[in-house]
Amino acid sequence: MADYRTRMDPVSQLCTAVTEEKIRAMVAAFYRRVKQDDLIGKMYPPEDWEGAEKRLADFIVYRFGGPQTYLEERGHPRLRMRHFPFAIGLAERDRWLTLMGEAMKEVEIPAEHAPLIGEFFAMVADSMRNREG
């Protein structure tokens, strides 16, 4: 099954290509920015920064073909459902993508993998929109 998944989905090969360590460093760099952000930072419960960071890192690592810790601990991602309580429009989507793009640059995601990762993040971020504008 995993072989079929990796042959059919280049995103699921990124953990090997980029490394789990670099993915987790990228998520940490993202959350450093989110904590200071006036738009999306307030969406995160202040007492759960570490938990939020771990969940996002585990999700990305899993989706990029790494260990399935996210599935084992949280089950099916159900991302849209989990994010529905938060008002996410174009501004929030774009800010999320900007901060993640900055984090990718900070940790020096390899240039040959950055476009695919960026496309994946754009698709996921857009699917989280639940408000107009």
Query: Domain-by-domain residue ranges, the chain?
Result: 2-127
Q: What is the pLDDT of residue 79?
A: 67
What pLDDT shows up at residue 31? 97
The whole-angstrom separation of Cα 42 and Cα 34 is 9
Q: CA 129, CA 74: separation in Å to the nearest integer? A: 22
Mean pLDDT by 10 residues, the chain (133 residues): 57 96 98 97 92 95 94 74 79 97 98 97 93 81
How many Å apart are CA 93 and CA 5, to the nearest integer?
28
pLDDT tens string 88-113: 899 999 999 999 999 999 999 999 99
Query: Which one is the CATH code of 2-127: 1.10.150.170, 3.40.190.10, 1.10.490.10, 3.30.930.10?
Result: 1.10.490.10
The residue type found at 133 is G
Contact (Cβ atoms closer than 8 angstroms) between residue 27 and residue 126: no
pLDDT value at position 5?
46
